[in-house]
Amino acid sequence: MSAGQAPPVYLAPMAGVTDRAFREIAREICPAVRVVTEMISAKALLRDNRKTWAMLALGEEAPPRVVQLFGRDAEEMAAAARILMAAGADGIDLNMGCPTAKIVKNGEGAALLRDGPQAVAVARAVARAVPLPVSVKCRLGWNAAEADTAARLAPRWEEAGVAFLTVHGRTREQFYAGRADWAGVAAVRAATALPVVVNGDIASPADARAALEVTGCTGVMIGRAALGNPWLLAAAAAELSDPAGAWPPPEPRERARAALRHLDKLLAYKGEYIGAREMRKHFGWYCKGRRGAAVLRAAALRAETAAELRALIRETYRHL
Ligand SMILES: Cc1cc2nc3c(=O)[nH]c(=O)nc-3n(C[C@H](O)[C@H](O)[C@H](O)COP(=O)(O)O)c2cc1C
C-alpha cells in the first residue's frame, strides 16, 4: 500500500502544547501527519484579539492549515470560519469535546453534546459558511448514561455537511480517567457513512493498528503519547502503511537535534522569555523514561535562558 492510501495519522490538538513549533516538529519527523491548531475561541477571533491571531500565524505555516474553533453560537462560529478562510485556513475543526469547567459552563466544548440541536446547528452553519472541509471532534457523550450521544448525532452531522468526525472514546465526566472506549467509537462509526478518526489512549504503533481493527475507523489521532515523542507519529504511520516494515527508533543524536530545533522554533515564535519557559515542559517530556529524568526535569525548571536549556539538552543526549 502506498503512503497516499495509508490510513491517516493525526496529531491531536492540545491547548498549550501543539502550537506552531510542535506542529512543525511533528511534520518534519512525519511529513504525512495531519495537524490541527490548538482550540481557538470564535468570540476572540470576532473581537480581533491580537493574542489569538498570534497563536494562529496562519499565513506562515505550511498548508494544509486546519484550525480548531470552539464556541456555541452558530452565527458566531460561521463568521469566525469565514474570517479564518480569508486568512488562509484550509479546514475548520469544531471542538465539541473540551471537558474543562471554564468552557462547558458557557455551553461550549463537550457541553454541546448535551444540546443536540445546537451541536447540529453549529456544524450546519459553519459548513454552509465556508467551502472547506468542516470536521467535528467530540467525545462519546456527557456521562456514562449519555455515552451514545455521538452515535446519535453522527448521522445528523453528516446531513449537516460535516466532512468527517474524530471521536475521543471517553465521556466528558471521565475527563482523562479510565481507558478510552474504542467500542464506543466503533458505534459512532457504524452510525454514519462519514469517515471517523479514532482517538484516545493510542500509545504505540500496535495500539494504532488495534484501534483501527476494533473500530473500523479510517484514521487514528494521537495526543499525549506524542508529547516529547513525535517519532511515535511516524512509527504509527509506518505501521499502518506496512506492518511488515520496521521503523527504527531514533538515535539519541536525532532526539537531541529535534529537541534543539523545537527550542529554536519556540524562541523564534514566542521570544526568549516565553519560549524558554515553554520548552521546560517539552524537555521534561523528551526525557520521559530516561535514566535520571527527574533530575533533568528539575534542572530544566531552573533554566532561565535558552543557552542554559540548549546546554542541558546537549548534555542529556551526550550520555545516552
Ligand atoms: C493538555 C491537553 C490539551 C488538550 N487540548 C485540546 C484542544 O485544544 N482541543 C481538543 O479538541 N482536544 C484537546 N485535548 C484532547 C486531545 O486532543 C485528545 O482528544 C485526548 O488527549 C485523548 O487522546 P490521547 O489519549 O491520545 O491523549 C487536549 C488534551 C490534553 C492532554
CA distance 157 to 135: 9
CA distance 113 to 94: 12
Q: Which pLDDT score, from 0 to 100, does residue 53 have?
A: 85
Nearest one of 259, 253, 251, 250 to 303, comparing CA atoms: 259
Q: Which amino acid is at 181?
A: D
Residue list, ligand 1 pocket, CB within 6 Å? 12-17, 38-39, 68, 95, 97-98, 137, 168, 199-202, 222-225
CA distance 77 to 118: 12
Whether the per-residue pLDDT at 4 is higher than 60: the answer is: no
Nearest one of 91, 83, 74 to 131, comparing CA atoms: 91
Residue recorded with cell 448514561? 145
Per the prediction, the chain carries an average pLDDT of: 95
β-pair partners for 165: 136, 196
Q: CATH assignment of 3-241, given 2.30.30.170, 3.20.20.70, 3.30.1330.10, 3.10.129.10?
A: 3.20.20.70
Q: What spatial distance separates the first Cα and last Cα of the chain, rounded to whole Å?
A: 36
Nearest one of 244, 245, 252, 206 to 225, comparing CA atoms: 206
Contact 177, 168 (CB under 8 A): no
**pLDDT grade for 3, boundaries at 50, 70 and 90:** very low
Q: Which pLDDT score, from 0 to 100, does residue 5 have?
A: 79
Tell me how far CA of residue 159 lies from CA of 100, 105, 156, 162, in angstroms.
29, 28, 5, 7
Shortest-distance atom of ligand 1 to CA 93? 11
Candidates 98, 138, 217, 287; catalytic one: 98
Mean pLDDT of 162-189: 98
Whether the per-residue pLDDT at 237 is higher than 60: the answer is: yes
98 is catalytic: yes
Instruction: Give the range among 115-124, 167-176, 201-210, 288-297 with minimum mean pLDDT.
Output: 288-297
Shortest-distance atom of ligand 1 to CA 201? 25
Q: Which residues of 276-292 are buried (b: 16+ CB within 10 A; e: fewer)?
A: bebbbbbbbbbbeebee
If one compares 189 and 56, the residue with the highest pLDDT of the two is 189
Contact 303, 282 (CB under 8 A): no
Give me 208's grid cell: 494504532
Pocket probe mutation, ligand 1, options 168, 207, 217, 282, max atoms within 8 Å of Cβ: 168
Can you give the residue ranges of every domain in the chain?
3-241, 252-318
Q: Which pLDDT score, from 0 to 100, does residue 317 have?
A: 87
Domain 252-318 - what CATH class?
mainly alpha
